[in-house]
Amino acid sequence: MPDGTGMMGRAMRIFITGTAGFIGFHLARRLIADGHEVFGYDGLTPYYDPELKKDRLALLEATGRYRGRIAMLEDKAALADAIGECRPEIVVHLAAQAGVRYSLDNPQAYIDSNIVGTFNLLEIVRAAPPRHLLIASTSSVYGDAERTPFAETDRCDFPISIYAATKKSCEAISHSYAHLFDVPTTCFRFFTVYGPWGRPDMALFKFVRAIRKGEPIDVYGEGKMRRDFTYIDDLVEGLARLLAVPPEKGKPLEAPGVEDSLSPVAPWRVVNIGGGNPAGLMDFIAAVEQALGRKAEKNMLPRQMGDVVETFASPALLRALTGFAPSTDLAVGVKAFVDWYTERYADG
Ligand SMILES: NC(=O)c1ccc[n+]([C@@H]2O[C@H](COP(=O)([O-])OP(=O)(O)OC[C@H]3O[C@@H](n4cnc5c(N)ncnc54)[C@H](O)[C@@H]3O)[C@@H](O)[C@H]2O)c1
């Protein structure tokens, strides 16, 4: 069973896009600690506070074992140059314009970063395919699916936000490259990831900031939405293990009761990384209140366009491939975030 130390347990050259971002930072830190050579790439976009991104990068640089490039995915020459310098065995593509709500008013950013950016990366790696290409997708591709839990083989052709539509496009485009150029590719669908060094545009960060300031929090969907919250350390563990399991064309996983999403015509599969344990928004807020020792003043609002009602992962495929599935208790994960936030933003 893979143990996260890499294919055959040896150090590898790993190229990661989005290393100044929440997930890329944590993954890079973990892989460096595991002894791998990590080369990062990030454009430090101003979608949220670039100082937070720079501080994450500073921590990576402080390891003395991180190399990186500040440039945009749209700059194909810079991307090609960075990949050429790294000569990666593994590529993990996390850089993207994230966020459902921002995509309602800023669709162009999603076309540029997610579709053009991913296309540029695929064009570059096709010349010298890595042993495994891993690409971030999202639970949002399931849209307002009624059947739960969401399995990778479920139909997800009805995205309800531009963000989801661009991520679904990346899945499809990467499949064609996997087929045409024999690039072993895994797309992973993340489910509301949270934890220390998290994103300021996400609910947990906004809730903690507002409650600490004594300001009301905006609770969308009248608090009835449910999310399969995934703690960052669990996500990173799942990713680290998946690195070592590249899909092989014509060799689907054989495990009782698990349907592999392996393509019938390419070394390509899609994997959920979620625990299959969704929580209601009000329970999530209660965990935040508990961790802060303060009650929130709640501003109940209708569901926003683009937001899905529920996300609920089936972790069966991830577990069968890696022997692992996320399980960190919400109260424990929220407390870890609150501890980090309180230390970093001691004065507000
Ligand atoms: N955090 C979640 O809950 C979640 C859920 C589902 C999917 N995802 C996906 O996981 C990936 C990582 O998300 P995150 O939460 O770390 O987001 P993030 O915004 O913290 O990180 C993304 C990083 O990519 C960089 N970037 C964006 N566009 C770029 C471009 N065009 N060129 C170069 N760099 C660019 C940004 O500067 C940022 O540092 C994304 O692909 C996101 O869509 C995240």
Q: What is the pLDDT of residues 54-100, one digit of tens each?
A: 999 999 999 999 999 999 999 999 999 999 999 999 999 999 999 99
- Residue 143 token pair: 């849209």
Separation between Cα atoms, residue 92 and residue 82, nearest integer Å: 14
Q: Is 47 one of the catalytic residues? A: no
CB of 44 closer than 6 A to ligand 1? yes
pLDDT range class, residue 7, cuts 50, 70, 90: low
Residue tagged 């749209």 (tokens): 74
Ligand 1 atom at shortest distance from the alpha carbon of 75: 32
Query: What three-state secondary structure class fits 170?
Result: helix
Question: What is the pLDDT confidence band of residue 146, given thresholds at 50, 70 and 90?
Answer: confident
CATH of 7-193+230-274+313-326, one of 3.40.50.970, 3.30.1360.120, 3.40.50.150, 3.40.50.720: 3.40.50.720
Query: Is there an atom of ligand 1 within 6 Å of 193 CB?
Result: yes
**How is residue 18 written in tokens?**
């989005």
The response to whether residue 73 sits with its C-beta less than 6 Å from ligand 1 reads yes
User: What are 111-143's pLDDT values in tens digits?
Assistant: 999 999 999 999 999 999 999 999 999 999 999
- Single-letter residue type at 202: M
Ligand 1: which residue has its CA nearest to atom 11? Answer: 94
Closest CA to 327 of 283, 277, 285: 277
Q: Which residues contact residue 174 at a Cβ distance below 8 angstroms, ignoring those fewer than 6 apart?
A: 118, 122, 133, 135, 183, 185, 187, 268
- Cα–Cα distances in Å, from 28 out to 32, 154, 161? 6, 31, 29
Both ends of the chain: CA-CA distance in Å? 45
* pLDDT over 80 at 172, yes or no: yes
Grade residue 10 by pLDDT with cuts at 50, 70 and 90: confident
pLDDT tens column, 261-310: 999 999 999 999 999 999 999 999 999 999 999 999 999 999 999 999 99
d(CA 318, CA 273): 7
1 against 160, higher pLDDT: 160
Query: Could you count the other beta carbons within 10 Å of the beta carbon of residue 148?
Result: 17
- CA 149/CA 164 separation, integer angstroms: 18
How far CA 170 is from CA of 175, 176, 257, 343, in Å, comes to: 8, 10, 28, 37
Structure tokens given for 104? 């309602």
pLDDT-derived band at 347, boundaries 50, 70, 90: confident
Instruction: Decide: 318 in ligand 1 pocket, CB within 6 A.
Output: no
Ligand 1 atom at shortest distance from the alpha carbon of 193: 3
